[in-house]
Amino acid sequence: MTDPAGQERRDRRGGPGRGPRALVGGRAEEAFDLDFDGRPVAAESGQTIAAALWGAGILAWRTTRDGGAPRGAFCGIGACYDCLVTVNGRPNQRACLVPARPGDTVTTQEGTGHADLAV
């Protein structure tokens, strides 16, 4: 498909191998995958982790300390802490504020995100 200027557009996921995704304002957006709980999730430069997860249809990526209730993004501005995830081994990262980067490994956070150190 081509845009009005005659430049080729790529599909939503950027096609094989990712690379430029689509022309936005005359510039190409870079698309890539991040790893979420062992599966690839499409993301693009400038997107937060929460936006990438939402785009993949993933609405919950944390459980509460008491009761294990699922949580995802709620406020979207970093005020509520409902969207906490573990990013590259660092727990308690607010997915709505952390930019998605190529090679990121994101995992569902259970409870506080810290291992139980009681022996």
Give the Cα separation of 93 and 83 in Å (integer): 8
Q: Which residues pair with 61 in a beta bridge?
A: none
Q: What is the CATH number of domain 33-110?
A: 3.10.20.440
The confidence score (pLDDT) of residue 118 equals: 44
Give the tens place of pLDDT for each residue, 90-113. 999 999 999 999 999 999 988 777
Give the Cα separation of 46 and 59 in Å (integer): 20
Rg of the chain, C-alpha, whole Å: 17
Q: Average per-residue pLDDT in the chain?
A: 80
Closest by CA position to 52, among listed 10, 87, 80: 87
Give the tens place of pLDDT for each residue, 74-87. 999 999 999 999 99
Domain boundaries, the chain: 33-110
Contact predicate 72/83, CB 8 Å: yes
**Is the pTM above the cut of 0.75?**
no
Residue 64 has pLDDT above 70, yes or no: yes
